[in-house]
Amino acid sequence: MPAPALATTSPVEGLRRRRLGFLEVLAQSVAVLAPTAALVTVPALVATAGGSLTVPAFAAAGSLMVLVAWSVRHAARRMAAVGGVYSYCARGLGPVAGVVCGWSLVVAYAALAVSSCVGAALYASALVGWAQHPCVVAVGVVVVACGVGLVAARGVQLSARLVLALEAVSLTLVLVLLGVLVVRGGPQAGATEPAGAVVVDALPTPGGAALALVLAVTAFMGFESSSVLGVESRRPLLFVPRAVLWTPAVGGVVLLVGAAAQMALLREAPVAVLLSGAPLDGLVRAEAGGPLPSLLDAAAAAAFVACTSGAVTALVRVLFSMGREGVLPAALGDVHPVTGTPVRALLTALPLVALVPVVALLAGAAPRAVLSGAVTVAAFGSLLAYALVSAAAPALLRRIGELTPAPLVVGVLASTSCAALLLVAAVAGPWTGGQSLALVFAALVVPGVARVVWLRRRHPERLARAGVYDEPTRRSVL
């Protein structure tokens, strides 16, 4: 029987194949999940919505994300793709659903990069003692974006090693600071000041509990981003599934412990600290003098830089995949001949990531409002992508004749749960700005849907190519 003909080139030719080890692949997911940045910002937001259900909300969100990861893992064990979740969805549910999923990821990664750019600038300005004026933060955003762009242009290997180092240092610092605060017993509210227990121990309404769960899910966004390194990973069918599954599992434990510690501290703190927007920062400055506040600022700034780098890496590779397929302009599929970086996609995406927050800040928006608003938009995009890929994984297994009951049940459960959370996030009233930001997300998805409609009518052959993955070539076999 003759062997099947092999292609002379892979559809993703040009990327530097098989360069990244497991730690570098894992670093991509950890950087975008950004446990340090999540610990600094998310628990207090969850507490204001969920009260006494804050820690259970983190446990439930982590469990749901592990289910999604388990579904993604099945696809990642069978495809080495640059588009990651987008490619899995296109191969499982077809190109229309795949492109909608891919565009949602583009919006999510871009919004996450915007928020982390602002976060890095905010904490860096606090570290050097500058006022957190919007103009100062805008300058910081440009500096962070340029630095991330220079590292990304040098290649994904350098970027992965940098984010791994930054996240390891920053997470260690934040956990040590939390430990110091817990040992010291935390702050005590004055006789005339209401303690944070009023909020932390409150019984939430059903809507508040649902919102707390949605907000807790935002702490896990990006765990799937290592799937975009399928081509550049040394052993993609082993390293990528491990990184996708381990990141929410281990990260969930860290977030759960950190959230529990913060709730114990904030219960005794003045309620004003809890509602300040940066409660951990307030706790450290009030209770721990010396260099500890500066260490927290440095840790948070480093974590946000790592998150920016990881989000840009994932964003650029999804755009590259879409460019190679012809779903988006073909120029986005170009790579640098020496570094193997998708340079056109990088030069297209990074200026927009920097320009959006700079315009918002110069227009008078508060830096923390820009940060939280962008995170919310990213949450919408991530939840839509997770709902689609959880449904796509069993469909992909069915197409190749490998579907069993467990992936089917888990996929349906994860997909319907993510879709329900997305609906809650879109219609929930108590979440300030939630409904307006849902409209912003919907407006950002419109160009992707319009592109699908146009391709289906004018260029169905290009739409059918959605979801390319690395294929063996004659050169790689012979």
Residue 181's closest CA among 71, 72, 295?
295
- Helix or strand (DSSP H, E) at 188: none
Most confident of 167-176, 180-189, 193-202, 407-416: 407-416
pLDDT of residue 164: 84
The type of residue at 240 is V
pLDDT tier for residue 4 given thresholds of 50, 70 and 90: low
The mean pLDDT value of the chain amounts to: 88
The C-alpha atoms of residue 149 and residue 154 are separated, in whole angstroms, by 9
The dihedral through the CA atoms of 395, 401, 402, 407 has a sign that is: positive
- The C-alpha atoms of residue 352 and residue 114 are separated, in whole angstroms, by 9
The pLDDT assigned to 47 comes to 86
Beta-bridge partner residues of 20 = 233
Alpha-carbon 150 to chain mean position: 21
Span 245-271, pLDDT tens digits? 999 999 999 999 999 988 888 888 877
pLDDT single digits (tens) 426-474: 776 544 555 688 889 999 999 999 999 999 999 999 999 998 888 777 6
* pTM flag (> 0.85): yes
Distance CA 165, CA 171 (A): 10
Tens-digit pLDDT profile for residues 49-100: 888 899 999 999 999 999 999 999 999 999 999 999 999 999 999 999 999 9
Q: Determine the angle formed by the axes of helices 156-184 and 134-153, rounding to 10 degrees.
A: 130
